[in-house]
Amino acid sequence: MVLPRPYAVQLLLVAAILLCLPLFVLSSLGDKSIPFQNYLRKCLIANCSSQDKLMHFEEVQPHYMQLLGWNCKEECKYHSMWNTVHHFIKHKLEVPQFYGKWPFIRILGIQEPASVIFSVLNGLANIYMIWRMRQRIPKKAPMCNIWQGYAMIASVAWVFSTIFHARDVGWTEYLDYFAAFALTITGLWTACIRIFAYQRDSMNVKIAVPITLVLLCIYVRHVYYLAKIHFDYGYNMKVNVIVGICMSLLWVSWSLYRIKRQPYLWKTIATVIIGNLLVLLELMDFPPLLWTFDAHSLWHAGTSPMPLLFFSFCIDDSLYLLQYSEGFKKGV
């Protein structure tokens, strides 16, 4: 089957962009600075240099801090970070990042409290829309299972985001980054399936399978690179942005092409516009306001109501496809 010309051009554009994913490296200076190293060395000697000192530290430390992995060395890093921040402010210097992150005031051992709260809100919004879709969309409706599966992946991704922002350690970071990219690549997959693979009343397997395999290979390649070759924050961000741009181009161009027949497609256009405006926050990367609200947490805050809008489109679209499918079978 030959794809219509506009769709063929879109698919080729997506493939070309994804094959040219660039690499970029970020680094931080705070933990490498001389003041930080001096504070850290003094703290480690004073509190973590002998078994007796470690036992005393464990006796006085609250249990919830132990559960969150705040051992003696991590405590020294945290307090040395703030001593260094005060040093930089006192000397009227710009406050740098530490270990790739801005300084945050922790609450009850939670490392980034604002991002944790907003991640929970995002997860709850997706869970609510899963319930709404199950209430509104008949099981026989086209794309029903795909949209619900997408919302489930989103919910899991936000659970891992919550865990990661509560405590940034190696395994929580891996879970968050891999789940986030799974959500991004699944978003592109759902766009491709809906736009290219659904023909009249059913999915065209000959189109759906190659799309699925290509995007699965991209996901596996990305995870392998981060896990086995180099955990590169800049590379990860650029890949996610590029995949997001591909998804945005597909949704907007397709929605504009069909909006006269399907007026509800304004929801996809609005979702893309709002989402891309919010991404600008993620790219700004400024020091946290009140040492709590950084660009990343504000981005999470902005995205929390977006599932309500996007999955509202999914409900409308599945019902439209169901009506079209039933009309097609009846020969209407």
- pLDDT per residue as tens digits for the range 184-212: 999 999 999 999 998 766 789 999 999 99
Paired with 202 in beta bridges are 199
Report the pLDDT averaged over residues 97-113: 94
- Who has greater pLDDT, 215 or 16? 215
Report the pLDDT averaged over residues 100-128: 96
CA–CA gap between residue 251 and residue 170 (Å, rounded): 35
- pLDDT per residue as tens digits for the range 159-183: 999 999 999 999 999 999 999 999 9
- pLDDT per residue as tens digits for the range 217-257: 999 999 999 999 998 888 998 999 899 999 999 999 999 99
Phi, psi of 92 (to 5 degrees): 55, 45
- pLDDT per residue as tens digits for the range 40-97: 999 999 999 999 999 999 999 999 999 999 999 999 999 999 999 999 999 999 999 9
Token output for 289: 């306001």
The pTM of this model reads: 0.85
Neighbouring CB atoms inside 10 A of 109's CB total 17
Residue identified by tokens 């809906």 is: 194
Token output for 4: 């219509």
How high is the pLDDT of residue 284? 81
- CA angle 60–31–168, rounded 5-degree value: 60
Of 81, 328, 13, the closest CA to residue 201 belongs to 328
